[in-house]
Each structure stands twice: as structure tokens, then as C-alpha cells.
Amino acid sequence: VEASPNKAFLPTFLKGIVPMVVLFCSAVIFGLIFESTDFVLLMSALLLLVWVILAVFSYKAKGINIREDRLTVATGILSRRFIIVPFSKVQMLTVKSGPVCKHLGLRSGVVSVLSSQINQNNKIGYFAPEQFKKIEEKIQQYESIDWSI
């Protein structure tokens, strides 16, 4: 499985900024209420450390492998998860890119799988647009096969 490129760490890191700001503000308010600046500093340092560790694990856990007939998507921070799906079962590929990703030349996406299971939409991490183009071409190639023969 091909791992996320190095520059994919930044958008992964920035994705958690809103919850971190909320937690930091909560720690500050708690520290002001109980008049404990040591608590605020300790909690802020702890939150920052946890945020960085989770961002690194999330970045390292993402991966894709594009084969002739199937796509493998690797995810999972605490437990590694591999989704192996034949291109015949891929219903849709959604590709998105925010301002940071555009600047870094990255895209993220979701693969929708034809399945009766609960997890039909599988997130793909941050990769180069060429990777998503390959997936799109494989989906189109597989759709163009005449199965009535």
C-alpha cells in the first residue's frame, strides 16, 4: 500500500484545529474559574501533544494501492483497516480539495462502494491528483466493459 505523501501531514494536522481551539478555550475557562494558571498550561501542553500524536498517526495510517482490477484503501489510527474493493463494485469517487490542499497539490476523496453493509463510503487520505485520476480511469474502464457477451 502506497503511503500518503509527506506534504499530506499539514492538512491532516490542520483538520483538527477547531476541536483543539474549543478544548483549549475550555481549559482556559476552567483555569480562570478555579484560578489555576498551572492547570491551563499543563492542559494546553497535553492537548497540543495529543493533537500532534493523533495527526501523525492519522497521516501515517492512510494509504492506497491501485491494481488492475481492485482498489485497496488503508485507514485506521488505533487498528489498521484495509478495504479491498474490485472496481466493479465502486459506485462513485468523490474528490475534494481545500485551499491548503490546492496549494500543496493534494486532493482527498471518498470511494462509494456498492454494498449492503453499513460502511459504504470510505475516506481516502491526501494524495496527488494523479492518483485520483488513475482511480477514475480504472472506474471508467471497468464501466465500459460489455458484460452481455
Average pLDDT, the chain: 87
SS (H, E, C) 1-15: CEECCHHHHHHHHHH
In the predicted model, what is the mean pLDDT of residues 123-131?
93
In the predicted model, what is the mean pLDDT of residues 132-139?
93
- CA distances (Å), 114 to each of 70, 76, 90, 121, in order? 14, 21, 6, 9
Instruction: Please tell me the pTM assigned to this model.
Output: 0.79
Q: Alpha-carbon distance 119 to 134, whole Å?
A: 23
- The answer on pLDDT for 131 being more than 60 is yes
Sign of the Cα pseudo-torsion (19, 106, 92, 78, in order): negative
**Residue 83: strand, helix, or coil:** strand
- The answer on pLDDT for 118 being more than 70 is no
Give the tens place of pLDDT for each residue, 1-50: 889 999 999 998 888 888 888 888 887 888 788 887 787 778 888 888 98
Residue closest to 63 by CA, chosen among 8, 140, 137 = 8
In the predicted model, what is the mean pLDDT of residues 42-66?
89
Q: Alpha-carbon distance 127 to 93, whole Å?
A: 14
